[in-house]
Amino acid sequence: MNDSIPVIRDVDQGTARLLPDVDRDRAWLLTVDGAPQSYVDLDAPDHLEFEYARRLAHVIDCAAAPGAPLDVLHLGGGALTLPRYVAAARPGSRQDVAEADLGLLELVAEQLPVPDGSGITVHGADARSRLEQTAPGSLDVLIADVFGGSRVPAHLTTVEYAQAARRSLRDGGIYAANLADGAPFDFLRSQLATFAAVFEELALIAEPAVLRGRRFGNLVLVASPSPIDTATLTRRCAADAFPARVEHGAALDRLTGAAEPVRDGMAVASPEPPDGAFSIG
């Protein structure tokens, strides 16, 4: 039983809380202004509590043979859930993390430090700036999980951003982003159009209830210059406790509809979630 004491601290983007999981020793939930940001089990980094984190992990798992090390850039750090997962599942991986909230970085480093020799390097930097400084063709995987509060920042939604993402990837590399939207999916459709203008292959992972517009929720956008192993992704996502669908090809084209790519200067952040969509109090 986890009898640790909650930690509450003001960080750059609000009030962060590290809340111990009473059912798991050394496991913590990170929230910022009541919105869940990360869940970490220090003794079991392969335990991914959030559904969207498991879906991002499925993308990572499909990026190379099991156990093979990867070069990964994570845009958005939180409590470093996915970097810890990769370090445990793929020893020898080289991972950089860009997190703009320096107060949050300090809190996580102090309370939930990563093990020595993990291969994880954390940078206090804006996500897009760090991406644009990344050497071309240097990454196997690029993960974007950046939220200002509960919204994806506007400068991470554009063609120019997508072009920087594509430049950073090796042939066969893969990009995956955690997004959030609900019907009528204006933001999601714009993102599909934006990334289709830059990448040859796209896929989308989401729960059926979200795709049908019944509720606001997380969706994982996957993009690559090479074919995506959608069959394996589909099997993995269907086997989760909360199964998700993988849309691609003609189905994704229909979802995109007449949406236009978004360019710098016209971008807006993702929509504000409805009250209670993600908040835990």
What are the extents of the domains in the chain?
51-256
Other CB atoms closer than 10 Å to residue 225's CB: what's the count?
16
Q: What is the structure's pLDDT at 250?
A: 96
| Backbone angles phi and psi of 101, in degrees to 5 | -85, 100
Q: Is the confidence at residue 280, as pLDDT, over 80?
A: no
Enumerate the β-bridge partners of residue 179: 219
Q: Is the confidence at residue 1, as pLDDT, over 80?
A: no
Residue 278 banded pLDDT, cuts 50, 70, 90: low
E strand intervals along 128-168? 139-144
% the chain with pLDDT above 70? 98
Tens of pLDDT, residue by residue over 81-118, are 999 999 999 999 999 999 999 999 999 999 999 999 99
Average pLDDT over residues 28-57: 95
Q: What is the structure's pLDDT at 281?
A: 42
Average pLDDT over residues 31-53: 95
What DSSP assignment string belongs to 168-179?
HEEEEEEEEEEE
Average pLDDT over residues 170-181: 97
Residue 150 banded pLDDT, cuts 50, 70, 90: confident
Residue 2 banded pLDDT, cuts 50, 70, 90: confident
Q: Is the confidence at residue 61, as pLDDT, over 90?
A: yes
Tens of pLDDT, residue by residue over 229-269, are 999 999 999 999 999 999 999 999 999 999 999 999 999 99
Q: What is the structure's pLDDT at 4?
A: 86
Q: Measuring CA to CA, how many Å separate 118 from each of 83, 94, 150, 227?
A: 9, 9, 29, 30
User: Phi/psi zone of residue 254: left (φ > 0), alpha (ψ -120 to 50 degrees), beta?
Assistant: alpha
Lowest mean pLDDT among 146-150, 158-162, 273-277: 273-277
Matching CATH number, 51-256, of 3.40.50.150, 3.90.1150.10, 3.30.70.1150, 3.40.250.10: 3.40.50.150
Confirm if 39 and 50 have CB atoms less than 8 A apart. Answer: yes
Average pLDDT over residues 48-77: 97
Confirm if 16 and 8 have CB atoms less than 8 A apart. Answer: yes
Q: What is the structure's pLDDT at 140?
A: 98
Average pLDDT over residues 135-158: 95
